[in-house]
Structures are given as structure tokens and as C-alpha cells.
Structure 1
Amino acid sequence: METIEMIAVGALILALLLLIKVFSLQSRVNAIQSDLEWLKGRAEGQTINRLKPSAPAVSDKPASEQLSLLDERVHHLLAQGDKIKAIKIVRAEQGIGLKEAKDYVENLERG
């Protein structure tokens, strides 16, 4: 293989790796935009179908109020058609298994 061909193959591999990184970053930007939308809605007093910030914060709020924020977030994700992400968030927030989180999300979806 000639030097130019090796450089071209290396450049192609680098371009593919950069493309993968761009897709990953775009996904993160979309999540941040969703979080900002939720924050804007909270600042304006709207609480329906908004996404709470993804970083879990230590709160002095009672468990029932925290649960309602989780429900808001799940409803928002379901409205966006992102049921899998909603299940992942419920698992992380509640510390429950996959089946329980799926049932929780499906109950909110029905109700």
C-alpha cells in the first residue's frame, strides 16, 4: 500500500470516528434543550408535560412532590414518544427493576 493510500484510509477512519462523536453530541444537545424547555415552563408556572433537569438534586421536598416531578418528566417523555428513556429515568430515580419501571411508565401512560 502506498503512503497516500494509507493516509487516505487513516483520514477516512478519523472522519468516521468524528461523525460518531457528532451524533453523540447532538443527542446530548437535544437532551439539554429538553431540560431548558422544562426549566422555562417551570419559571412561567407551567407544570404540564415538562421535563425536569436530568441531574438528580438533593431536595428538601417531600417524597410525594418529588414523585409528581418524576411523573411530569415521564409524561413529557411519553408525549415525545420516548418510552424507553422514560423507563430508564424511572429506574434511576426510584432504584427499581426493569419490569417495575416498565409497569410504572405504562400505568402513567394509561392514566
Structure 2
Amino acid sequence: MGALIPFVLGLLLGVALTLFLIRKGQGDQRDLTAPPRPAPRPMVHVGDERISDDEILDLICQNRKIEAIKLMREKTGLGLAEAKDAVEALERGMR
């Protein structure tokens, strides 16, 4: 009988804690079956500066887009996808 009371109290405390955690976490649930959201597209701005380097614009005008992307990466430190998006945005802005 002496061990029954702590067992019952522990069981009730465990159930109460479980219910509390379930209710607390209900607002944080995500739909894991939904497709992932696409990453936001980077802008042409890097830091506080707008990219308007004449060399990059000249390469775009000469249809040398790969070289323009390489130069954009060298000058800004952007990754490949971000530099490509930035060069394409500059290209669209020139039209």
C-alpha cells in the first residue's frame, strides 16, 4: 500500500504533463505532407549597394552571360544561384 500512493501520484503527474505538452504544441504544428515553400528570389541589391557594374552590363550586352555570372560572383561573393538570378534581373532591366 505504501508504494501504491507514489505510483499513482507519478502516473497522474505524467498524464498531466503529457496533456500540457500536447496542448502547448498544438499552435506549432506544421503540415509535413505539404510541398516545401520555394525560397525567396534574391534581389539585385547586395548589401546597401545596387549592382550596376559596367563590366557586367557589357558582358550581358555581348551575350556572355556565363562570364557575367562569374564576374558577379567574384565582385559580390554571392553563390552561383544568387549570382545567376542577379545577372538575369539586370538583363531583364536592360530590355
Decide: shared fold, TM above 0.5.
no
Greater strand fraction, Structure 1 or Structure 2: 2
Greater helix fraction, Structure 1 or Structure 2: 1
Q: What range is the shorter-chain TM-score in?
A: 0.3 to 0.5
The alignment's TM-score, normalised by the length of structure 1, stands at: 0.38
Report which of the two structures shows the higher radius of gyration computed on alpha carbons. Answer: 2
